Amino acid sequence: MADKKEEIQYESLIVQGAKYETTLTNKFRNRKVWQPHNPNLIVSFIPGTIIDVMVKTGQKVKAGETILVLEAMKMHNNVLMPFDGEIVKINVKNDEIVPKNHVMIEIKPIQGRIK
């Protein structure tokens, strides 16, 4: 029985101006690509259950106000508005179980003061 050898594929990698030839693992090729944090998305920082959503779509909210309550590990965590803004979309409802990094609420900043 003849063994099949996989052909080695080298990839070019540039580090501080120096070019290297290397092989890449499948784990590296299939990795989740890093994306910068989007401040307009409120994501769950831990898996849990939504206890109460305190805002509605289109509502203007001041920085520091509680927008929802997330229960995780038998603790109620108040999720606060990071800046003055308007609620664009709510992606969760009461008693919904959410995984980590789930987009719960989409917001947009508002310039000026909210009355």
Note down pLDDT in tens along the chain; length 115 residues: 455 566 778 888 889 999 999 988 889 889 988 889 999 999 999 999 999 999 999 999 999 999 999 999 999 999 999 999 999 999 999 999 999 999 999 999 998 766 6
The span from the CA of 105 to the CA of 13, in Å, is 39
Give pTM, 2 decimals.
0.72
Find all residues with CB under 8 Å of 74, minimum gap 6, and list them.
none
Write down the domain spans for the chain: 41-109
In CATH, which of 3.40.120.10, 3.40.50.12780, 3.90.550.10, 2.40.50.100 is domain 41-109? 2.40.50.100
The span from the CA of 10 to the CA of 114, in Å, is 57
Which residue, among 96, 77, 88, 98, has the nearest Cα to 68 in the 3D structure?
77
The span from the CA of 87 to the CA of 108, in Å, is 7
Tokens coding 19: 């070019």
